Amino acid sequence: MFDITLITMGKLKEKFYISAAEEYAKRLGAYCRFKLLELPEQYLPENPSPAEISASLEKEAELIRPKIPKGAWLCVFTPEGKELSSEDFAQKLSQVKLSGKSSACFLIGSSFGMSDTIKARADFKLSMGRMTFPHHLARVMVLEQLYRAEAIQAGSKYHK
């Protein structure tokens, strides 16, 4: 069975986000071994300078690097990434599996993004589009799209 790890910076606080995320994580379990890793987001002052943001992102990168499963295909969610339809995302994930990889790791950075060093390490950069979403909603959306991608690959009626 394929392993999928989702690394996120910060914890969900709102019950409705927690409930939705748990539901999609549970559904994913039918298709893969799923693991969610929540890492602490660095706290910044109200109006951080670019240097403070950069330093914070590097500290987060130090937490992220050892959590990326060895040999996993790494996909980061970043605005400059490629936009894919749900079908194209499912196909991309299928290609990763067919390439011989036994695991994939997806990363959602903090509210200020992620370090350029982490982006450089990524096998694929994926964008959720040009709109801005609340950081915690993005986690639910990623989980839903992972579930949808697995359902598409399985020929499920979930994706119409």
Distance CA 10, CA 155 (A): 34
Q: What is the pTM of this model?
A: 0.95
* Pick from 43, 122, 49: nearest CA to 80: 122
Domains and CATH numbers, the chain: 3-154 (3.40.1280.10)
CA distances in angstroms from 16 to 8, 22, 25, 113, listed in the order given = 17, 10, 14, 23
Rounded Cα gap, residues 30 and 59, in angstroms: 35
What tens digit of pLDDT does each residue of 43-88 get?
Answer: 999 999 999 999 999 999 999 999 999 999 999 999 999 999 999 9
Q: What is the pLDDT along the chain (160 residues), one digit of tens a residue?
A: 999 999 999 999 999 999 999 999 999 999 999 999 999 999 999 999 999 999 999 999 999 999 999 999 999 999 999 999 999 999 999 999 999 999 999 999 998 999 999 999 999 999 999 998 888 999 999 999 999 999 999 999 887 7
CA separation for the pair 61, 73 (Å, rounded): 17
